[in-house]
């Protein structure tokens, strides 16, 4: 497995892949089974696979966890080597944002401005800027993103369409713990007691999904059910939303695919999760 630390090294590796299909998995490292699901999908669909590991300072707010975000490059490299990844791009900050770097990519509209966009000002600007730069550097045929961050997937799909970037964005289903908790690098912040409590989030989503599958189409009722299920748990709910899958506006009734999304604090850890509400699903 080739380790590129600089843009020059990455470009050299990329030039050697001419004629091969390239799959790309952007990550911030501290890899878990959710990331490995992206890597395996990329491995299955491409001749060469490259993974980036970069904790992107631009997408963290001033009061957020950039400094303490978990990092373990050696462990990540071992895991990726075992998945037969061809190359890893793990640049230092100065390589991604050299002196004089002054460009931002801003996606506007509900997809970038509501929910996570509102709760974390500047977050999607940071994501869109780093993802655009990474896609330009790696020039993959396909790039893989987890559905756990559904709004991020929609923001990236928007920017790829709007900037006519020649890449297919492939969303990959969320990987969950046996009790339903979505895998996230931030789960390591949870104490054993908080970790137990955190399972209430997916349980609330699944309770609403069950009601939806039984025929409930009133979005207000589904939101209410999530709030009610979480009412007894020691979590601080930040939002619960039923957003249209295409327009990302809040809906009253689910007559076409929508996302049921939650963000909540468990102690000092902020967790997000979602499920798809698809009226056409069996």
R_g over Cα of the chain: 19
Nearer to ligand PAF among residue 151 and residue 212 (C-beta): 151
Is 26 a binding residue for ligand PAF by CB under 6 A? The answer is yes
Q: Is residue 199 within a helix (H) or strand (E), and if so which, with residue range? A: none
| Contact call for residue 202 and ligand PAF (CB under 6 A) | no
When the beta carbons of 76 and 149 are compared against ligand PAF, the nearer one is 149
Q: Mask of contacts with ligand PAF, 175-194, x by CB under 6 A? A: --------------------
Residue 161 phi/psi, 5° resolution?
-70, -45
Interaction between residue 131 and ligand PAF (CB under 6 A): yes
DSSP character string of 102-139:
-------SHHHHSTHHHHSTTHHHHHHHHHHHHHHHH-
Q: From residue 44 to residue 73, what is the string marking binding to ligand PAF with x (rule CB under 6 A)?
A: ------------x--x--------------
Residue 127 in the binding site for ligand PAF (CB under 6 A): yes
User: Would you give the binding string for ligand PAF spanning residues 134-153, x where CB under 6 A is met?
Assistant: ---------------x--x-
Beta strands in the chain (DSSP E): 2-4, 22-27, 48-53, 87-89, 142-146, 168-172, 236-244, 258-266, 269-277
- For residue 174, state whether it binds ligand PAF (rule: CB under 6 A): no
Q: Hey, what are 47's tokens?
A: 């001749």
Q: Which residue has the tokens 């997916």?
A: 202
* Residue 35 CB, nearest approach to ligand PAF (Å): 8
Report the alpha-carbon angle 79-80-82, nearest 5: 70
Strands 168-172 and 142-146: parallel
Using CB under 6 A as the binding rule, whether residue 28 contacts ligand PAF is answered as yes
Q: Residue 46 or 56: which CB sits closer to ligand PAF?
A: 56
Binding footprint of ligand PAF, residue count (CB under 6 A): 10
Residue position matching structure tokens 């912040």: 189
Residues with active-site annotation: 35
| Segment contacting ligand PAF by CB under 6 A, of 83-91, 124-132, 188-196, 268-276 | 124-132
Closest approach of ligand PAF to the CB of residue 134, in Å: 7
Give the span between the Cα atoms of 167 and 154, in whole angstroms: 14
> In angstroms, what is the minimal distance from the CB of 149 to ligand PAF?
5
Task: Give the Cα-Cα-Cα angle 201, 173, 49 (nearest 5 degrees).
Answer: 135
Residues binding ligand PAF (CB under 6 A): 26-28, 56, 59, 127, 130-131, 149, 152
């Amino acid at each position: 497995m080739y380790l590129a630390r600089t843009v020059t090294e990455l470009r050299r590796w990329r030039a050697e892949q001419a004629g091969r299909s390239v799959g790309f998995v952007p990550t911030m490292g501290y890899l878990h089974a959710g990331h490995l699901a992206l890597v395996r999908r990329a491995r299955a669909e491409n001749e060469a696979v490259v993974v980036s590991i970069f904790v992107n300072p631009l997408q963290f707010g001033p009061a957020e966890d950039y400094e303490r975000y978990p990092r373990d490059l050696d462990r990540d490299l071992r895991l990726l080597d075992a998945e037969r990844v061809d190359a890893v791009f793990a640049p230092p900050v100065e390589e991604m944002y050299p002196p004089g770097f002054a460009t931002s990519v801003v996606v506007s509209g509900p997809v970038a401005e509501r929910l996570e966009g509102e709760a974390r000002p500047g977050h999607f600007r940071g994501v869109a800027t780093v993802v655009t730069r990474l896609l330009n550097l790696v020039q993959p045929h396909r790039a893989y993103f987890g559905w756990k961050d559904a709004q991020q997937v929609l923001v990236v799909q928007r920017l790829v369409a709007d900037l006519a970037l020649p890449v297919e964005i492939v969303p990959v289903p969320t990987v969950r713990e046996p009790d339903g908790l979505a895998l996230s690098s931030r789960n390591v912040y949870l104490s054993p007691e908080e970790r137990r409590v955190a399972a209430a989030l997916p349980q609330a989503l699944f309770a609403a999904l069950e009601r939806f599958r039984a025929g409930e189409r009133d979005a207000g009722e589904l939101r209410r059910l999530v709030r009610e299920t979480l009412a007894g748990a020691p979590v601080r709910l930040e939002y619960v939303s039923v957003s249209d899958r295409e327009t990302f506006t809040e809906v009253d009734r689910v007559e076409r695919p929508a996302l049921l999304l939650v963000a909540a604090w468990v102690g000092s850890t902020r967790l997000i999760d979602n499920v798809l509400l698809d009226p056409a699903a069996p």
